[in-house]
Structures are given as structure tokens and as C-alpha cells.
Amino acid sequence: MALALYSLAATVVGRMPRDLSLTAAATLYALERHGPQRITHLAAREGVTQPSMTALVTKLEDLGLAERRCDPSDGRVVLVALSPAGARYVTERRQAGADGLVGLVDDLPEDQAASLRAALPALRALAGRDDVDTEASHRLAAEPRGAVR
């Protein structure tokens, strides 16, 4: 099962246009999920060196997707935060991925699509993202096959 879920995620990600590296996108998702962070923490989270993360953050800043801020509890510390444009980017990419999944499910026989709809609560629990449902996942859960698109 784990391999099937991993392969499904890889299929969806592989079909999406890539305008940022996977590390850059993962960094934006981390900022969205965990809030502003130090570059050293982001580097450790993404498994890259601090100089590499510094360069990546500079690129994300240049693109308007992230911004550096002073830590309110310690003015000497700089935090990296998601900009409003970065938040829109993350939301749009997540929606595009969800739409890609809906397209794949639409191509399944009805009994298999119904099995996936029944598994949505378990998949949400595994993802830990029950609070961040997208329009596409709501449609997938509520609509019969053929009505989604």
C-alpha cells in the first residue's frame, strides 16, 4: 500500500509543470505549514547546506514568494516567511495537485473510485491535513464519477 501511495503522489507531481525546484517548493510548503523559520532550520529540514538554503531563500525573495523578517523575540535573528504571493503559490499548487488526482480518479471504474471516496477519511488522517481540504477533494468526496471535472 505504501508503495502505491508513494507512486500515486509521484505520478501527480510528475505531471505538474515545474516552475520551481522540488526543494524550493518544499521550502514554501514548510513555511506555510510551520510559519516563519530560521534559514538554519529550513536547511536542516530540507537536507541542504546553510549556504544552499541562503541562495534558495534569496531566489524565493527575488520571485516575491518569501521574505525575511526580524524575529520579534530577538531582533538579531532573521526569519524567513511566506509572502502573500508565496501563500497564493502554495494554494494554487496544492489545488492543481488535487485537480490532477481528481482527473486520475475520474479515469477509474466506478467501483474503484467509490473505494477511494470511502478511504478519504483515512487518507486525510494519514496526511495530517484534515484542516486543509481543497475544493477538488470536496468534489471528489461528494460527487459520483463523471460529475467531477
For residue range 11-40, list pLDDT tens digits in order: 888 888 888 998 999 999 999 999 999 999
**Phi/psi-derived region of residue 38, left when phi > 0, alpha when psi is between -120 and 50, beta in every other case:** beta
Using alpha carbons only, what angle is made at residue 55 by residues 52 and 96, rounded to the nearest 5 degrees?
Answer: 95
Asked if residue 8 belongs to a domain, the reply is yes
Q: How far apart are CA 139 and CA 130, in angstroms?
A: 15
Q: How far apart are CA 11 and CA 104, in angstroms?
A: 10
Q: How many domains does the chain have?
A: 2
Model confidence over 71-125: pLDDT tens digits?
888 888 999 999 999 999 999 999 988 888 888 888 899 999 899 889 889 888 8
Which residues touch 52 (CB under 8 Å, ≥6 apart)? 43
Asked if residue 95 belongs to a domain, the reply is yes
For residue 46, the domain's CATH number is: 1.10.10.10
Q: What is the dihedral of CA 123, 125, 128, 130, to 10 degrees?
A: 90
State whether 42 and 57 are in the same domain.
yes
Q: How far apart are CA 57 and CA 82, in angstroms?
A: 10
- The count of other CB atoms within 10 Å of the CB of residue 18 is 10
Q: How far apart are CA 13 and CA 49, in angstroms?
A: 25
The pLDDT value recorded for residue 131 is 45
The pLDDT value recorded for residue 16 is 83
Asked if residue 9 belongs to a domain, the reply is yes
Model confidence over 52-66: pLDDT tens digits?
999 999 999 999 999
Grid cell for residue 111: 467501483
Asked if residue 148 belongs to a domain, the reply is no
Structural domain containing residue 69: 22-85
